[in-house]
Structure 1
Amino acid sequence: MASLKQVAELAGVSLMTVSRALNHPEKLSEKTYNHVKKAIDELNYVPNFSAKNIRGSTGKTIGILSLGTATTPFSVEIILAIEKTVRQHGWHSFVINTFEDDEQEMEQAAERLLSYRPAGIIVARNGLKEVKIPQKLRNIPIVLSNCVTNDIDVASYIPNDFQGQFDLTELLVKKGYKKPLCMYIPEMAIAAKERKNGFEKAWFNQANPQTPEQHFMIGTPHTYENGAKPLERLLASNPEKLDFDIIVCGNDRIAFLVYQLLLGRGFRIPEDVAVVGYDNMVGVTHLFQPALTTVQLPHYEMGKQAALHFIEGRVTKEDTLIDCPLIAGESC
């Protein structure tokens, strides 16, 4: 990472002139300012605000590039876990929240992070997805939480969705369910593929399994109403009879709509048909009556392990799968 001294040397000016260009450009001539600015751009120099704002820290600071994580209740535990973990080990952290659909905003957020000279940066996303790494972050220590990338080789802490769905499906097999209706999240989602594979591995491992009816969420945008459409169509064609005994929902939000569709037509859960979800979504799951059987996304543990990656000096640059615990309710 370039220093103020290197900028001054390249521009052929004093450190004071560079400082003025950064803090009081109006005190310089346009020619001098442009000369310094050119050197700053060539070296990709980022002002060191940490010298002002975190003076006295020993470099034990982690920056968090939050891709919607800090503003989404669903995944905010990632941020909570990072903050608690760094405090327990005498480190510090700070968060800059942005949105990945704006490349310029992402680059600006990366620059703000670097201005505090953190020991490392955690890129955390509000849902598992492949992300683009800002150019400015590609040559410094970073780690990913709840996301992956093909831009660089980097450690990622992500949910073990295969294991989560496998364990849930094994429970369904043990309980004797025979005719599943599966309604997954969009097919291109990383989690959807892993969960489908986990379901099929456990389901077809039993003796004489029936072929499940499987659907992926379709439609633009990918709304959760669309996720429940297969059930809605089946109920419309035969409102008094169900041809399945268990509905496997791609997430708890789809399960919430499934409850409404079933209960609104007089079907009992789980006596007439069982329902299971996925995610253990914060603030909603406990509202299901009967309580929903689901799988916990390990947001807290993903944040904790990402923080420990820097604190413990881990050197791995691979994906680390974090187990997704089964949450047994009364819906199956």
Structure 2
Amino acid sequence: MVSIKDVAEKAGVSDQTVSRVVHNDAKVDPRTRKRVERAIAKLGYVPNRAARMVRTNRSGVVALVTNSVSTTPFSTDIVRGVRDAIEATPYSLLTITTGSEPERRARCWKTVKEHRCDAVIFVTMYHRQVEEAELDPAVPTVLVNCSLENDRPVPAIVPDDYQGSYDAAALAFEHGHSRIGYVRLNQTILAARLREAGVRDLMRAKELMPREDWFVEGLVGKVFEDRYVAYENAMKILSLEDRPTVMLCGNDELALQVFSAAQTLGLRVPQDLSIVGFDDFQVISDVIRPGLTTMALPYYEMGQRAVRDVVKLIEKQPVETVRTAVPCVPVLRQSLQRLNRV
């Protein structure tokens, strides 16, 4: 078996220098690093993780724990952000899927402990609060796309749904729209409440009175068993002679339903009706014509920030804030038209 001494001799450096290269120490001279890496590749050296664990009481492994987040649209960007960021650290990534059943969650945390993971990045498939029972207080954890429902200080990185929706409404207002309609997400989820609040607060700030008959449901029923009603409700609003000039939508799927309703009624987008979505689900937003103006979820950046915070937890450094709300960025396409305010 190739040892660290063999690599050091081959590269003409000390054992300590090889160790520093293996652990991705940024202070190693780049030329020395390349020489050591060539020696590692030529000799096929594999670091002894068990010995490292004994020496440092760390495994060098971070667990990415998800509840099937990888199966949901665009939330794979969280995982991609985590994986890309972890490459710049000395840590390896172990991915575990929990599901929602308590037995599977218990097995998940058992696996985390069996692998002596240094910390966990816990990711949910939609923005929500998690219960204490879903976590293990003995394992340092960073939450992504969720926050803890009680006051225990667990670092959490979430999208700023409220500000994103406020900014979407502000964007419509800046384009001359004061007759604003809104299609809600399923009201049982946190993002739905935050996004609607953002729209309403912008309208209050601009002294606009929300028309309650223009604020309609888009999804109803239990989460993951819910059904779309956005098309039917948009048909009712858009059939009125007195109708909005812009429809803001809780997500891009709802915006697609509004597009369909407008098309059925012979309304042109954006000439007769502007539409703004949320999420920047590009299978929809960048494919339909005209392209959909929307707010992009910052999932990739959230994954990267999670790695930053989890490394700080492992290395006993202070985490700057318990809850980080990452801004959603507007993506301007052709579905939002500028007009004279009416």
The verdict on a shared fold, with TM-score over 0.5 as the criterion, is: yes
Which residue of 227, 230, 254 corresponds with 1:227?
230
Residue 131 of structure 1 is matched in structure 2 by 130
> Aligned runs of 1:176-215 on 2, under 5 Å?
176-207=176-207, 209-212=208-211, 213-215=214-216
Equivalent AA in structure 2 for residue 220 of structure 1:
G
Mapped to 1, the partners of 2:114 and 2:269 lie a distance apart of 54
Say if 2:144 and 2:157, in contact at 8 Å, map to a contact too: yes
Q: Which residue of 2 aligns with 1:106?
A: 105
The superposition leaves residues 93-121 of structure 1 with CA deviations (integer Å, 9 ceiling, x where unpaired) of 11011222x11111111111221111110
Taking the TM superposition and a 5 Å limit, the aligned residue runs for 1:125-164 are 125-134=124-133, 137-150=136-149, 152-164=152-164
Q: Which amino acid aligns with 2:300?
A: Y
**Counterpart in the other structure of 1:280:** 280
One-letter amino acid of the structure 1 residue matched with residue 68 of structure 2: G
The root-mean-square deviation of aligned C-alpha atoms, in Å, is 2.3
Q: Normalising by structure 1, what TM-score?
A: 0.76
Q: Write the letter of the residue equivalent to 1:215.
A: V
Deviation at 1:274, TM superposition (A): 0.6
Greater alpha carbon shift after TM alignment, 148-157 vs 81-90: 148-157
> For the residues of structure 1 that align with 2:242 and 2:291, how far apart are their CA atoms?
21
The letter for the 2-side match of 1:148 is S
Residue deviations 1:258-288 (CA, integer Å, cap 9, x gap)? 1111113211001001101001114332112
Q: Distance in 2 between matches of 1:65 and 1:330?
A: 38
Q: Is 1:303 matched with 2:307?
A: no
Distance change in 2, residues 1:54/1:257 (3 Å): farther
Q: Corresponding residue for 1:7?
A: none
Equivalents in 2 of 1:210, 1:64: separation in Å? Answer: 45
Are 1:185 and 1:227, in contact at CA under 8 Å, matched by a contact in 2? no
Q: Distance in 1 between matches of 2:335 and 2:96?
A: 40
Tell me the secondary structure at the aligned position of residue 284 of structure 1: helix
1:291 aligns with 2:301: no
Q: Distance in 1 between matches of 2:84 and 2:122?
A: 17
Task: Between 156-165 and 180-189, report the one with greater CA deviation.
Answer: 180-189
Is the contact between residue 70 and residue 97 of structure 1 (CA under 8 Å) also seen in structure 2?
no
Q: How does 1:1-332 map to 2 (within 5 A)?
A: 54-55=49-50, 59-100=59-100, 102-134=101-133, 137-150=136-149, 152-207=152-207, 209-212=208-211, 213-217=214-218, 219-221=220-222, 223=226, 225-235=228-238, 238=239, 241=241, 243-312=243-312, 313-315=317-319, 318-332=322-336
Query: How many Å separate the matches in 2 of 1:65 and 1:218?
Result: 28
How many Å separate the matches in 2 of 1:171 and 1:135? 38
CA distance in 1, matches of 2:219, 2:291: 27
Q: Distance in 1 between matches of 2:188 and 2:48?
A: 43
Per-residue CA deviation, residues 220-271 of structure 1 (Å, 9 max, x unaligned), is 2464522343213335xx47x4611111111000011111111132110010
- CA deviation string 1:136-178 (max 9, x = no partner): 7122201100011225431100011111111111111111112
Measured in 1, the distance between the counterparts of 2:227 and 2:277 equals 13
Q: Count residues with an aligned counterpart.
A: 276
Length-normalised TM-score, structure 2:
0.74
In structure 1, distance between residues paired with 2:293 and 2:139: 42
> Which runs of at least 4 in structure 1 moved beyond 6 Å after TM superposition?
none
Q: Secondary structure at the match of 2:182?
A: strand
Q: How far apart, in 1, do the equivalents of 2:219 and 2:134 lie?
A: 33
- Alpha-carbon distance in 1 for matches of 2:282, 2:205: 32
Amino acid at match of 1:130: Q
Q: Which runs of 5+ in 2 are unaligned?
A: 1-46, 53-57, 337-342
> AA paired with 2:235?
E
User: SS where residue 85 of structure 1 aligns?
Assistant: helix
Where does structure 1 lack aligned partners over 5 or more consecutive residues?
1-51
Q: Please say if residues 155 and 316 of structure 1, whose CA atoms lie closer than 8 Å, have aligned partners that are also in contact.
A: no
User: How far apart in 2 are the matches of 1:228 and 1:138?
Assistant: 44
CA contact (8 A) 1:224 1:254 kept: no
1:169–1:219 Cα change, 3 Å: closer
Task: Quote how far apart the aligned CAs of 1:328 are.
Answer: 0.8
What CA deviation, in whole Å up to 9, does each residue of 1:28-78 have, x standing for no partner?
xxxxxxxxxxxxxxxxxxxxxxxx995466533210111111222420111
2:13 matched to which residue of 1?
Answer: none
Does structure 2 conserve the Cα–Cα contact (< 8 Å) formed by 1:107 and 1:134?
A: no
Distance in 2 (CA, whole Å) between partners of 1:242 and 1:298 is 36
Structure 1 window deviating more from structure 2 (57-66 vs 72-81): it is 57-66
Cα distance change, pair 56–257 in 1 and its aligned pair in 2 (3 A): farther
Q: Any idea what SS the aligned residue of 2:59 has? A: coil
CA contact (8 A) 2:161 2:194 kept: yes
